[in-house]
Amino acid sequence: MNNEYGQLHKSKSLKIGVISPLKERDTFLEARKFGLSFCQVVNWNAGLWEKVSPADLRKEADSLGITVSSFWVGYPGQVEWNFTEGPSTIGIVPRQFREERKAVLIKGAEFASKYGAKAIVTHAGFIPENCRDPLYKETVETIEEVGRVCQKSEIQFWFETGQETPITLLRLIEDTQLGNLGINLDPANLIMYGKANPVDALDTIGKYVRSVHVKDGLYPTKGDSLGPEVKPGYGKVNFHKLIGRLKEFNFDGEYIIEREISGPEQENDIRETIAFLKSI
């Protein structure tokens, strides 16, 4: 276990939340189970944006005292979380999926706006490092289009870190010239994709971080596969330095626990992570 995992001094309480899948009923079951007041609602089923009433969902959340930090918008089509198929299947970079996924992002934005949430989140994909690459320009144009829809709805559009380097993500945000774009920092993804040390990455993207996934991982050691996700505190994320550095940027967003396994081990790991975060 990372020795610095539990060495943080006490300060202002963190806004601790958990991932909650969008459902026709009991969307907030996870947050309730862990006694949390915050969650990020995740949805990969585009049909649910029309089946679920945002007004009813908001009433449910308010009645339970739960705040939705944002809506994570997944998309249809093949998605492969690796270095071989990932560039051609993840996000809105691949041309063959772009238009359909853009439409789904807009649906998600409309739902989030009606709910009264502050943002939608997604993985943009393997954004080209070369800003002269035609795919880079096309991706910027697509993000501008979705971002303007979000602007009209008075919500923000955030990108979860992972497939791109911090400087590429910064360039993307700057090139769109929109004021409502931000970052959902997943420190484990930066490590698992071999893109950056998350603490150092804040030098580049820190001012745009709006939400954080509490997740841990190891660097990749095979050319075609991501590094493994591990229990928070057992990987390469230095949570002590990360949270302290975020405070330097006056970050006041949510820390959303994400443990991408299932069963009793997941529940136990989440409970331990909650206890750690509450000790800060």
Report d(CA 28, CA 22) in Å as an integer: 8
Count the Cβ atoms, other than its own, within 10 Å of residue 118.
Answer: 21
Helices (H) and strands (E) in the chain, counts: 10, 10
Q: Does residue 65 fall inside a structural domain?
A: yes
User: Which single residue is written with the structure tokens 């939400």?
Assistant: 211
pLDDT at position 198 over 50: yes
- Cα angle vertex 157, ends 107, 98, to 5°? 55
**Tokens matching residue 178:** 């929109």
Q: How much of the chain is helix, strand and coil, in % rounded to 5? A: 40, 20, 40
User: Which single residue is written with the structure tokens 């709805």?
Assistant: 153
Report d(CA 28, CA 274) in Å as an integer: 17
- Per-residue pLDDT tens digits for 75-84: 999 999 999 9
Task: Give me the chain's average pLDDT, please.
Answer: 95
Task: Evaluate whether 230 touches 213 at the Cβ level (below 8 Å).
Answer: no
Q: Does residue 175 fall inside a structural domain?
A: yes
Over residues 24-32, the mean pLDDT reads: 95
Please tell me the predicted confidence (pLDDT) of residue 7: 39
Q: Does residue 1 fall inside a structural domain?
A: no
Domain containing residue 48:
15-278
Q: Does residue 4 fall inside a structural domain?
A: no
Q: Does residue 3 fall inside a structural domain?
A: no
Return the bridge partners of 119, or none. 156
Please tell me the predicted confidence (pLDDT) of residue 154: 96
Q: Does residue 45 fall inside a structural domain?
A: yes
**The one-letter amino acid at 57:** L
**Tokens matching residue 107:** 């649906």
**Tokens matching residue 188:** 């484990």
Q: Does residue 2 fall inside a structural domain?
A: no
Whole-angstrom CA distances from 6 to 1, 92, 148, 243, 246 are 10, 38, 42, 12, 17
pLDDT at position 250 over 50: yes
Please tell me the predicted confidence (pLDDT) of residue 47: 95
Q: How far apart are the first and last CA of the chain?
A: 17
Count the Cβ atoms, other than its own, within 10 Å of residue 85.
Answer: 13
Report d(CA 247, CA 223) in Å as an integer: 35
- Per-residue pLDDT tens digits for 160-187: 999 999 999 999 999 999 999 999 999 9
Q: Does residue 9 fall inside a structural domain?
A: no
Whether pTM exceeds 0.85: yes
Q: Domain holding 97: CATH number?
A: 3.20.20.150
* pLDDT band at residue 12 under the 50/70/90 scheme: low
Please tell me the predicted confidence (pLDDT) of residue 280: 73
How many domains is the chain built from? Answer: 1
Share of the chain above pLDDT 70, in %: 96
Task: Evaluate whether 196 touches 166 at the Cβ level (below 8 Å).
Answer: yes
